[in-house]
Amino acid sequence: MKLLDCPINGTRPISEFVFGGEFRTMPDPGQCSDKAWADYVYNRNGAPGVKMEWWLHSPSGTWFIAERNTLTDEVLRSFLPGKEVAE
């Protein structure tokens, strides 16, 4: 079982986490076209690579963002939304 780093609870087995999908920025619903909205709702960046993803540490209810390589399954870093450390 894979291990994952929760920014609050440290390294835990993956069974304690729930995958929340790709982290995407919502277009302004008041401004964007129907097509742009549909793109936001349905389309995903499905190609392999390093992506920002939502993960939930379920026992503690901690949602965070993990930067993960979906090809190698390596997690580069994880952080709370808005608490991203400047690189």
Partner 1 sequence: MSTRLPQQAGEWIDREQPLRFSFEGREYAAFEGDTITSALWANGEKALGRSFKYHRPRGILSFANHDINVMVTDGVDTNIRGDVVKVRDGMQLHAVNTSGGVKKDRNRYLDAISALLPVGFYYKAFHTPRQLFPFWENIVRKAAGLGIVNFSFPRITKPKLHRFCNLLVVGAGPAGMAAALAAAEAGLQVFLVDENSELGGSLGYDHAAGSESRMLLADYLHRISNQPNITVFREAYAGAYYTDHLVPVVQSSGITKVRAGSVIVASGAFEQPPVFRNNDLPGVMLGSAAQRLIRRYAIRPFEQGVVLTANTYGYRVALDLIAAGVKILAVVDLRAGGESGNLHDQVAAHGIAIHRGSCVYEAKPAADKLSVAAAVICAYDEQTNSADTRNAFEIPCDGIAMSAGWAGASGLLYQAGTKMRYDDSVQQFIPDNLPEGVFAAGKVNGVFDLQARIDDGVRAAHLALRHLGKPAQDIRAPVHTGSSPSHPYPFVPHAKGKNFVDFDEDLSLKDFSNAAQEGFNNIELMKRFTTVGMGPSQGKHSNMNAIRILAKIRGLPVDKVGTTTSRPFFHPTPIGHLAGRSFHPHRQTAMHTWHKNTGAVFTAVGAWLRPAYYQTAGRSKAENIQQEVLAVRHHAGLIDSSTLGKIEICGPDAAVFLERFYTGSFASQPAGHSRYALLLDESGVIVDDGVVARLSPELFYATTSTANAAAVFREMQRWQQIWQLDIGLVNVTGAYAAMNLAGPQAQAILSKLCPLDLCDTGFPVGAVRETQIQGMAVRIIRVAFVANLAYEIHTSASDAQPLWQAITAAGSPLGLRPFGTEAQRLLRLEMGHLIVGHDTDGLTNPYEIGAEWAIKMEKDFFIGKRSLQIIQKKALKKRLVPFMLANPVSSEMPQECNLVIAGNEIAGRITSIAVSPSCSQTIGLAFVAPELGTPGTHFRIRTDSGAMVEAVVMTIPFISAKEES
Partner 2 sequence: MPHRLLRFAFSKEHKEPAFFEQPACLKPSYDAVIIGGGGHGLAAAYYLAKDHGMTNIAVLEKGYLGGGNTGRNTTIVRSNYLTPEGVKFYDASVKLFQDLSEDLDINLFYSERGHFTLAHTESAMRTMRWRAEVNKHVGVESCVVGHEEITKACPQLDISCSGKAPIIGALYHAPGSIVRHDAVAWGYARGAKNLGVDIFQSTEVNGIDVKANKVVGVQTSRGYIATNQVLSAVAGFTPRICKMVDLPTPIIIQPLQACVTEPMKPWLDHILVSGSLHVYVSQSSRGELVMGAALDPYEMHSTRSSLEFVEGLSSHILDMFPFLSNVKIVRQWAGMADMTPDFAPIMGKTPIEGFYLDAGWGTWGFKATPISGKSMAATIANDRAPDLIHSFRLSRFEEFELTGEKGAASVGH
The contact set with partner 2 (CB under 8 A) reads: 1-2, 15, 18-19, 21-22, 34-35, 38-39, 41-48, 53, 70-73
44 binds, among partner 2, partner 1, none (CB under 5 to 8 A by kind): partner 2
Length of the chain: 87
Q: How far is the CB of 42 from partner 2 (least distance, A)?
A: 4
Report which residue type is found at 11.
T
Phi, psi of 6 (to 5 degrees): -90, 135
Q: Which residues make Cβ contacts (< 8 Å) with residue 27, sequence separation at least 6?
A: 36, 37, 40
Q: Which residues make Cβ contacts (< 8 Å) with residue 43, sequence separation at least 6?
A: none
Q: How far is the CB of 10 from partner 1 (least distance, A)?
A: 14
Whole-number Å distance between alpha carbons of 51 and 77: 11
* Residues in contact with partner 1 by the rule CB under 8 A: 1-3, 18, 20, 29-30, 32, 34, 37-38, 40-42, 54, 56, 61, 63, 73, 80-82
Q: How far is the CB of 80 from partner 2 (least distance, A)?
A: 19
